[in-house]
């Protein structure tokens, strides 16, 4: 999380945030053991990349994507401008399990 990200709601079982990615920025490859990620692009363009099977989903403003439990993924801003997306995570205990990029 960076200083431009905004927490909308955070409970024991649900998290809702607006996340900001600068041009070229990406989250780490990761997965969650209990929560499903639901993303809605608000500004710019982001790609949600998946492993096993390898796949990429482009999100423009208004587009959404769901990442199921235990699926390795990351979010990348491939555009030249800043991107924002709404991230709803739940229902379950939040965790963020980083996948070693060397193993990829």
Q: Which residues of 40-73 are buried (b: 16+ CB within 10 A; e: fewer)?
A: bbbebbbbbbbeeeeeebebeeeeebebeeebbb
- Other residues' Cβ atoms within 10 Å of the Cβ of residue 32: 21
pLDDT in tens, the chain (104 residues): 678 899 999 999 999 999 999 999 999 999 999 999 999 999 999 999 999 889 999 999 999 999 999 999 999 999 999 999 999 999 999 999 999 865 55
In angstroms, the CA 49 to CA 47 distance is 6
Is position 42 within any domain? yes
Domain range for 31: 6-103
Is position 1 within any domain? no
Query: What is the total count of domains within the chain?
Result: 1
Q: Is the pTM of this model over 0.85?
A: yes
């Amino acid at each position: 999380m960076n200083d431009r990200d905004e927490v909308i709601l955070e409970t024991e079982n649900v998290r809702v945030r607006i996340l900001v990615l600068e041009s070229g920025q990406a989250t780490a490859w990761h997965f969650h053991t209990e929560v499903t990620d639901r993303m809605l692009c608000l500004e710019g363009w982001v790609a949600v990349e998946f492993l096993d099977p390898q796949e990429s989903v482009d999100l423009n403003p208004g587009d959404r994507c769901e990442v199921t439990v235990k699926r390795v993924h990351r979010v990348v801003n491939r555009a030249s401008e800043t991107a924002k997306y709404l991230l709803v995570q739940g229902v379950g205990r939040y965790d963020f399990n980083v996948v070693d990029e060397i193993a990829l």
